[in-house]
Amino acid sequence: MSSDSSAHPPLTLFSDDEILFRDAVAGFAQEEVKPRVSTMERAGRIDPDLITKYFEMGLMGIEVPEQYGGAAGTLTMVAIAVEEVSKLDAAAAILIDVQNTLVNYPITRYGSDALKARYLPRLTSDTIGAYALSEPGSGSDAFGMATRAEKRGDSWVLTGRKMWITNGAEAGIYIVFANTNPGAGYKGITAFIVERDFAGFSVGKKEDKLGIRASSTTELILDGVEVPAENVLGPVGQGYKVAIETLNEGRIGIGAQMIGVSQGALAAATSYVKERTQFGKTLGEFQGIQFQLAQARTETEAARLMVYNAARLKDAGHDIAMEGAMAKLFSSQVAERVTSVSLELFGGYGYTTDYPAEKFYRDAKIGAIYEGTSNMQLNTIAKAMLR
C-alpha cells in the first residue's frame, strides 16, 4: 500500500469558504471585541458601537436569504462565528447567537412572506431581536406558561410576564409565546412577533448575573399588548412546534459558545504555564501540568466535533433533537471542567480579575442552564433513544 500522502489531500473540518469566514470573524474579534471586553464586563452592557459593527460585518443575518439583506449562509457558519467570538467574550457572542438562531431562524422558517419582508431586513441591518419563552413560573416546563393571548377583532391582546430574556434590553423585535387556548394545554401555545413600541409592552428588571455580565437578561411585561393578527408566527396553536424546532437550532449556538469559552480559557492557561516558573522551571515542564492540559484539549476537541456534526446534520435537513441535545450537554460539561482547570493553573492569579481565567470560569456555568438545562438535555436524549 502506498504511503504517499499526496494521494490523499488533508482532511479539514471546514470548506475553503468556511475557513475564510472563520478567519475573517477571528480577525474582527481580535480587532473589535477584545479591546472592549473589560469595559463591557464592568459596565454590564454590550458596547452599542460593537453592535453596529456586528451588523456591518454581516454577523446578524448569517442564515437569512439575500433578498432580505442576509448572507444566505448556514448554521455551521453561525456556529463558527459564535465560537470565534466566544474565545474572547461569551457575552459578546450570545448576542450574535440569539439573533441568528432564535429570532431570524423562526421568522425565516415560519413567517409569512409579509412578515419576512417586514422584519428580516430590519434584523439584518440595525435591529436586535429577542426570544421570549420562559416565565417566572415556567422555565424547564416552558409549556406551563401563564401568558395569555385573547383574540379581539383583527388583533390579539397579550397579557403576562416573561423572564430571563437574553438581549431583552437592546431588542426592538421580540418573538413572544402566549397561550391562546389554555384549555388545550400546550396545543394552545402560539408565537407572536411583538415590537418594542407596541402599547402595553415594556422591559422590566435587568438581572445582575454571575457570568456573561455584558449580555442583558431581562423581564418583559405584557400589559394588554395589542398585536396585529398578521403578526402570528406560524399557525395559531402551533407555537410549541415553533419553540421546539427553534431551540433545537439554538442549542447548537450554545454548544459553539461553550467550545469557544473552553478554547479561550485553555489558550490563556497554556500561554501562562509556558512563562510562569516554579522550582527552577516553567510550569509547562511538569508532567502533571502537561497531562491536565492534554486532557482538557482532548475533551474540548471532542465537544467541538459534536457541535459541528450536529450543525452539519441540521444544514442537511435532518432532525437534530438528540444530536443537538448531546452537543449542548457535553460542550457545557467540558466548558465547566476546562475553565476550572485553567483557573487552577494560574494559581492565586487565576482568582483575580487581572487575568482572564476567572471570567471564562464564570461564563461557562450558564451553558448548563439556558436554552434547556442539562437535565432536560438528558431527558431529550433518553426519549430519542427509547422511542
Supply the angle between the helices 75-86 and 239-275 in degrees, to the nearest 10.
40
Q: 34: buried, middle or exposed (CB in 10 Å: 19+, 13-18, 0-12)?
A: middle
Residue positions annotated with a catalytic role = 371
